[in-house]
Chains A and B, each alone.
Chain A
């Protein structure tokens, strides 16, 4: 240590102070200026920093911890690694299959909704999008460097990336934009966007790389189109980057959660819900009366549905079939049931034989139980909310979205043995809050009699399934459209007929009358807490999160006496808790209907209590629901744009 350095400092310090003080001090009043750090801390203080990151769910707090929320699993081409998406943790874990440990964690800027690995194993593509920041992006992760090296903007609600076998193109479902982005990976840019039904949710590609198949969640039909209402399967020609046909499913088939293609490229398989009686009284769930959990078989050459098979047992529903995958050798097909945390393992060749044979005999397998009992087994796993699975080298790997402790669960892929699952931790335990428990209860079928369905079955991701329901409420019931649950807890009374005084009463009634079990306080209160916490998703009609010019004009109209909209749709919840008669052509039910909140109406079509109004435009031009003063065509557009922006 050279003490002279500090002697010089001292001399300079003292000398400088003295000189400056002698010159300046006599002329200055005594003042103390805050330092730069203190000024910045006043304006961007610790509380501000904390608020920014906590509200974006970047910082864990006691009320909103950061759970892992496993949502996708893919593997490296050489079979040495698993890549696991932790959606709400905003990370990808790299899991080494050789020593069964996590060897790396890659941070991403937003919630991770899907993964796809390049065929050469050097790049991993992650779709990122959240309900707070739905602007989607694809993060290109260089795997050797284990770092995001590029980010490509795609559409709202990006998910389900699918890469072509040549590694040149990536297809991404933009759930809230109702289309698919095609990305040129060499140029790292989007080359085009292709319409793909309403809320495209999952995708798969044929082994020859020529066709991408997309499954969507919701029907674009009116709820009163009871002969045809269904989701669709979209086909995309990879080379031409164009839509190549749309396959409308059978009435009542909706919520396609998982898609896969057989290794020989002949068939696609899609997991979905099947509601056969949406216009009959939901007096029970037994036998799948209120809906079934099915697996569809699609002939890819003909682009037609061969049949759809119920995965349920006669006395047990296999709630919420989600991910589906074929083994590489074509021997097995496995379905992950997120609602009951079980796997269905099916002998694939025999399954094809059975389905084709029965179809040729003219048998509709959608509501037929025991069709595949001899060629399938069910395995219970310990993970909670299994939405992802991967088959590698005779093993099944799965993990639960709602696990307190995130882990990979491994069990043998076999119909014969009774395997013991082995678990390998991915991260530390994060205890569940009441809200998180409520979310778990929302998506599980285990609180339903015989596990037939969950809240999610009808209220798709807390929204609407589009379908009408005749609720079993002990009084004469007529078909009513399934409502979105955004702000529902805060806008009593509930139900179109205002039958439930408050959110808790509705939760209790729903557990009793739609899930057919006796309500348990711990479950009901947890659901209450979850429902209270649901936040709207920013509308894709906003422009960078703000009202467009048209919507700004529409806002002026909305609040003006010219329209009177805000009389009943009072901000910020855009309803008034009252009921009105708005004739919509319902031949059965003419009672006053509860004013629905307009928040997130962009994603809750069709409209009215009957679900027979297809657009906001149509809604605001209905007799007895029109603006007080006739609007010009442009004003109608503006008003509609504003409402769809909410």
Chain B
């Protein structure tokens, strides 16, 4: 199903969706700020963004500069008076992006550079300078079944913040604010970072994630756990001690809740990226 959908989409889909706005909330659903994205009227390229606090108080305008390869090189932010307030710089090295943020005076705002792997998948671990330990993760939840989201997880995988995207030229779907509004179990390929498991539970539940062959033969139980009601994001197979012992290739993932399968997804396993070398 997923393979068919992805192929059909690839061939018949129109241009990719462009986010018009991103609203950010903390884990208690407090609205913090929102960002509107700006695009070149001729090329359609993203040229920057404007940041507002949740009550629409303007914070800064940011102009994005990209290199010849289209990759982001810098974001320069301007205050209400048009004066430079912050400069964020990006450098890429072997699929790892390093970013720094300095104020007008050149004062480092983050103790950077902060590094993250520039893969094309949906989960991103971020690391501070001088540390191989994951400081936080940023997870994109783009399932097109509701509001597309981004989650910011702490080092233990707990949700600290989340954002809800709205798109250009797409009817506004009912925005699902709230981290734990519905019973929801989703699993997805996280490639270099393993398998992502997203849970919104109304009550206690036993969750099991299994890997099956394309023919449906069960190969490996990747995860089993018991949870209370709440929202959780787990990453499976992302660490040295958490390897998934299957050969490289395409598989099927299932997630079951209290013994019943509630979600399926494809899984592309690449052992050189998953679970080792970190």
A residues touching B (Cβ–Cβ < 8 Å)? 1-7, 9-10, 12-13, 16-17, 20-21, 24-25, 28, 32-56, 58-59, 61-64, 90, 106-109, 133, 135, 137, 139, 147-148, 153, 490, 532-533, 538, 542, 544-547, 555, 571-572, 645-646
Contacts and interface: CB of A to CB of B under 8 A. Distances in A.
Interface in B13-43: 13, 15-19, 22, 24, 26-28, 30-33, 35, 37
Interface string B23-66: 01011101111010100000000100101111111110000000
30 contacts: A9-B252, A16-B4, A21-B7, A28-B11, A32-B10, A33-B13, A35-B6, A39-B16, A39-B18, A40-B165, A44-B35, A45-B72, A46-B138, A48-B35, A50-B126, A50-B138, A51-B88, A52-B33, A52-B51, A55-B109, A56-B32, A58-B160, A61-B128, A64-B110, A147-B28, A490-B105, A532-B107, A545-B52, A545-B58, A546-B80
Contacts of B7: 13, 16-17, 20-21
B16 A6 contact: no
Contacts of B148: 36, 40
B215 A7 contact: yes
Contacts of A533: 107
A12 B81 contact: no
A47 B72 contact: yes
B86 interface: yes
Interface stretch (B116-124, B225-233, B235-243, B269-277): B116-124
A428 B124 CA distance: 26
B190 to A, nearest CB: 11
B32 A43 contact: no
A542 B109 CA distance: 25
Give 9 nearest A-B pairs by CB, closest first: A3-B216, A62-B111, A545-B58, A39-B16, A572-B83, A6-B216, A109-B30, A63-B111, A107-B28
Given A58-B161, A533-B107, A48 B129 contact: no
B28 A133 contact: no
A645 B122 CA distance: 42
B23 to A, nearest CB: 11
B216 A37 contact: no
A36 B72 contact: no
Contacts of B128: 61-62
Contacts of A12: 1, 4
Interface in B119-171: 120-122, 124, 126, 128-129, 136, 138, 140, 142, 144, 148, 150, 152, 160-161, 163, 165
Nearest to A146: B28
Kindly name the residue among A10, A13, A42, A52 whose own CB sees the greatest number of chain B CB atoms within 10 A. Answer: A52
Contact of A545 (B57, B99, B140, B161): B57
A6 B214 contact: yes
Given A16-B4, A43-B19, A47-B116, A56 B33 contact: yes
B8 interface: yes
A135 B55 CA distance: 8
Interface in B59-110: 59, 72, 75, 80-81, 83-84, 86, 88, 90, 97, 99, 101, 104-105, 107-110
B216 A7 contact: yes
Contact of A36 (B3, B35, B142, B216): B142
Given A1-B210, A44-B22, A545-B59, 18 more contacts: A9-B252, A13-B3, A16-B7, A32-B10, A33-B10, A36-B17, A38-B120, A41-B122, A42-B72, A48-B49, A53-B152, A59-B136, A63-B111, A153-B55, A533-B107, A544-B57, A547-B81, A646-B81
A6 B215 contact: yes
Given A58-B26, A63-B109, A572 B104 contact: yes
B90 A135 contact: no
A61 B215 contact: no
B75 A51 contact: yes
B202 interface: no
Contacts of B173: none
A108 B30 contact: yes
A16 B216 contact: no
B58 A544 contact: yes
A1 B33 contact: no
Interface string B171-215: 000000000000000000000000000000000000000101011
Interface residues of B, number: 88
A10 B214 contact: yes
Given A17-B3, A49-B152, A63-B108, A37 B8 contact: no
Nearest to B138: A46
Given A9-B1, A135-B55, A148-B30, A52 B35 contact: yes
Contacts of B101: 51, 54-55
A487 to B, nearest CB: 9
Contacts of B3: 9, 13, 17
A166 to B, nearest CB: 29
A153 B57 CA distance: 12
Contact of B80 (A32, A55, A490, A542): A542
Contact of A16 (B8, B124, B165): B8
Contact of B217 (A3, A34, A50, A133): A3
B1 A13 contact: yes
B110 A62 contact: yes
A17 B26 contact: no
B263 interface: no
A33 B15 contact: yes
B16 A33 contact: yes
Contacts of B56: 544
A547 B3 CA distance: 52
B209 to A, nearest CB: 13
Contact of B163 (A34, A35, A49, A572): A49
Contacts of A109: 26, 30-32, 54
Contacts of B104: 572
B129 A62 contact: yes
A5 B112 CA distance: 49
Contacts of B121: 37
B152 to A, nearest CB: 6
A24 B12 CA distance: 9
A22 to B, nearest CB: 12
A61 B110 contact: yes
Contacts of A1: 210, 212, 216, 218, 254, 261
A35 B120 CA distance: 9
B257 interface: no
A572 B83 CA distance: 6
Nearest to A41: B140
Nearest to A109: B30
B268 interface: no
B114 interface: yes
Nearest to B130: A62
A53 B217 CA distance: 44
B152 A64 contact: no
Contacts of B136: 50, 59
A53 B18 contact: no
A476 B138 CA distance: 60
Contacts of A46: 97, 116, 124, 126, 138
Contacts of B81: 547, 555, 571-572, 646
A5 B212 CA distance: 12
Contact of B99 (A47, A52, A538): A47
A572 B215 contact: no
Contacts of B261: 1
Contact of B109 (A3, A4, A61, A90): A61
Nearest to A147: B28
Nearest to A547: B80
Kindly name the residue among A37, A54, A153 whose own CB sees the greatest number of chain B CB atoms within 10 A. Answer: A37
A40 B150 CA distance: 10
B59 to A, nearest CB: 6
A571 B37 CA distance: 27
Nearest to A53: B161
A109 B53 CA distance: 10
